[in-house]
């Protein structure tokens, strides 16, 4: 019991330090990149005004203008009037960026513009990536008992042989993972994000939790859209159960409208995504480890 207490303390310390590390990264990235972004934003606005004031639009002028527009867009600065006015480098967004660095997901929807930012990214990931792997592994070890050892024991006590028990358990875990981290979030995304289909949601979840992170779909980054929240994922999974929640995405939309009326903070959205990535990756690791165990037992 003494040992268990100490290992919980260690894990809490790890997670606390992880959060502090993310906050530290957010502060540094924000202070480095925000001025660069501001100047790029103003420059682009001036360029656009100049372009609109031209009496006749020549091919060459349009080309020059578009070149600048696309370059700015690469760093997450949009030329559109109704683009989100919130900075890509406020504290919450910077923290999200830091999180995508250390989990190696790297959506790249915003990227550092300055040399200092690039150099800091390298240093930050150099320490952060191994540390995050450590924290994730520690979390997986902690949930091994309630999610793997205990259920397998239960299945065996209920009369199953060890080998079929591991297979049944693996399949149950797979269904749980797919429901809680693919189907349910995808249902929420397709309700919350205006232009996302259900397939887009599944695609985003999969590409994220495999740490591929293509960045073509990132929640809350589209123009002409308020920042949305994934708060419901947690609410739903806890209150409604997984499978019914996933199928009842019409009610999710209702829930969301109510929620939207009550809150509307950027920070919450980014934090939810951050927690989604963190917990989802833990579950992916757990599934991988369980699969390895099962394969070992079957002599594969």
Which residues here bind a copy of itself, judged by CB under 8 A?
48, 51-52, 54, 57, 59, 62-63, 66-67, 69-70, 73-75, 78-82, 100-101, 104-108, 111, 115, 118-119, 121-122, 125-126, 129, 197, 199-200, 202-203, 206-207, 210-216, 223
- Number of other CB atoms surrounding residue 8 within 10 Å: 11
Q: Which is nearer to K ion, 29 or 170 (CB)?
A: 29
Calculated CA dihedral for residues 231, 235, 241, 243, nearest 10 degrees: -20
Q: Is the dihedral of CA 58, 81, 88, 104 positive or negative?
A: negative
Check residue 209 for interaction with K ion (CB under 5 A). Answer: no
User: Residue 278 Cβ, how far from a copy of itself at the closest point, in Å?
Assistant: 16
Angle between helices 91-102 and 266-297 (to 10 degrees): 20
Residues 6 or more apart whose CB falls under 8 angstroms from that of 63 comprise none
Q: Which is nearer to a copy of itself, 47 or 160 (CB)?
A: 47
For K ion, the binding residue among 185, 213, 220, 280 (CB under 5 A) is: 213
15 binds, among a copy of itself, K ion, none (CB under 5 to 8 A by kind): none
Q: Which is nearer to a copy of itself, 106 or 231 (CB)?
A: 106
Q: Which is nearer to K ion, 76 or 106 (CB)?
A: 106
Count residues binding K ion (CB under 5 A).
Answer: 2
Q: Which is nearer to K ion, 233 or 277 (CB)?
A: 277
Stretch near K ion under the rule CB under 5 A, chosen from 157-165, 207-215, 233-241, 275-283 = 207-215
User: Residue 117 Cβ, how far from a copy of itself at the closest point, in Å?
Assistant: 10
Residues 6 or more apart whose CB falls under 8 angstroms from that of 283 comprise 177, 180, 181
User: Residue 268 Cβ, how far from K ion at the closest point, in Å?
Assistant: 24
- Number of other CB atoms surrounding residue 243 within 10 Å: 14
Alpha carbons within 13 A on the beta-carbon side of 95: 21
Tokens 């009037």 belong to residue:
81
Q: Which is nearer to a copy of itself, 211 or 251 (CB)?
A: 211
194 binds, among a copy of itself, K ion, none (CB under 5 to 8 A by kind): none
**Residues between 105 and 134 that touch K ion (CB under 5 A):** 106
- Chain centroid to Cα 270, Å, comes to 8
**Measured CA distances, 70 to 43, 49, 59, 82, 93 (Å):** 13, 16, 16, 17, 21
Contacts with K ion, residue ranges (CB under 5 A)? 106, 213
């Amino acid at each position: 019991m003494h040992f268990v207490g100490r290992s919980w303390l260690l894990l809490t310390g790890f997670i606390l330090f992880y959060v502090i590390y993310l906050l530290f990264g957010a502060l540094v990235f924000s202070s480095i990149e925000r001025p660069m972004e501001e100047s790029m934003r103003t420059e682009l606005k001036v360029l656009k005004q100049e372009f609109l004031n031209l009496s006749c639009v020549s091919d060459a002028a349009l080309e020059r203008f578009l070149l600048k527009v696309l370059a700015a867009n690469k760093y997450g600065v949009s030329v559109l009037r109704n683009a989100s006015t919130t900075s890509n480098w406020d504290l919450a967004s910077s923290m999200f960026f830091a999180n995508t660095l250390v989990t190696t997901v790297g959506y790249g929807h915003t990227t550092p513009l300055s040399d200092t930012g690039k150099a800091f990214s390298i240093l930050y990931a150099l320490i952060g990536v191994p540390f995050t792997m450590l924290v994730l592994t520690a979390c997986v070890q902690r949930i091994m008992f309630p999610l793997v050892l205990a259920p397998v024991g239960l299945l065996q006590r209920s009369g199953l042989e060890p080998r079929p028990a591991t297979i049944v358990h693996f399949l149950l875990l797979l269904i749980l993972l797919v429901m809680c981290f693919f189907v349910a979030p995808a249902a929420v995304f397709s309700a919350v994000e205006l232009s996302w289909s259900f397939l887009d949601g599944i695609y985003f979840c999969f590409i994220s939790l495999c740490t591929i992170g293509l960045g073509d779909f990132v929640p809350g980054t589209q123009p002409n859209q308020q920042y949305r929240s994934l708060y419901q994922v947690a609410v739903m999974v806890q209150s409604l159960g997984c499978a019914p929640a996933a199928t009842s995405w019409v009610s999710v939309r209702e829930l969301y409208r109510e929620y939207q009326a009550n809150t509307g903070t950027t920070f919450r959205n980014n934090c939810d995504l951050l927690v989604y990535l963190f917990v989802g990756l833990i579950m992916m690791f757990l599934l991988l480890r369980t699969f390895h165990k099962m394969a070992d037992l079957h002599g594969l």
